[in-house]
Amino acid sequence: MLNIVLFGPPGGGKGTQSNYLIEKYQLVHLSTGDILRSEVANQTTLGMEAKKLMDQGMLVPDEVVIGMIASRVDANRDAKGFIFDGFPRTTAQASALDEMLKFKPDGFMMSNGPGDPSVMKDEIELIKKIINTNIPVFGICLGHQLIALSQGISTYKMHAGHRGINHPVKNLITGKSEITSQNHGFSVDGKDISKNPDIEITHMNLNDNTIEGIRMKSKKVFSVQYHPEACPGPWDSRYLFDDFVAN
């Protein structure tokens, strides 16, 4: 069984990242929002409890949502695996990680999303804790930047961000180039990477030599700045998802 937690900030584009994995590895997609709506519509015990709270203008407690997720896992016990999308956010980082670990994830995927990564202190600390579990991690775009920040590598606002399709990127491990889709205005600082012996640059932008990918030498953690999940083609970068599963 293959279990993946798709983790990211509000506004992150998590859906497209799961599609390839769902189709290729026949995983069951458990989206928190979809489950909540379904439980309410079907008037289950947890659904009615959630509806009562929402009708009062209150938030649905994490334990109620997690209970809904657990019931779906139990109902699909013969599945080949799950992608947990939109996991509840708890105020305590340790509690958030503990709840995610209860579902025995084989990997964490850090999604893309908007904003300045350096101000996301809670996410940076939580990702640091996730990496310390030694469970494989794959980061995309904002997720890539947050992984770097969790390892003491700074980010900076670019003079001109990368937007659109047809951005050439070189894989420094294989020597091959990829045509990629990009949408970001911040980048990882290459000077800081040179000061961290556990971080290796794996991908470079061929237009301006900015950092496009990194990996940790001591753990199964890697990330890319571009979007292997949301490009119109060619699909030069889909191998990254398979590398993640192979980890």
Q: How far apart are CA 96 and CA 163, in angstroms?
A: 33
- The closest alpha carbon to 148, from 178, 120, 169, belongs to 120
- 227 assigned to active site: yes
3-state DSSP percent of the chain in helix, strand and coil, to 5: 35, 30, 35
Does residue 161 sit in helix, strand or coil?
A: strand
Q: Is 229 a catalytic site residue? A: yes
Q: Say if CB 208 and CB 194 are below 8 A apart.
A: no
Nearest to 72 by CA among 44, 105, 111: 44
In the set 39, 141, 144, 184, the catalytic residue is 141
Report the alpha-carbon distance of residue 148 to residue 167 in Å, rounded: 22
Long-range contacts of 94-100 (CB under 8 A, 24+ apart): 94/129, 96/126, 97/126, 97/129, 97/130, 97/133, 99/62, 99/66, 100/5, 100/7
> What's the rounded Cα separation, in Å, for the pair 55 and 129?
36
Of 162, 184, 203, 227, which residue is the catalytic one?
A: 227
* Among 123, 178, 229, 231, the one annotated catalytic: 229
Active site residues: 141, 227, 229
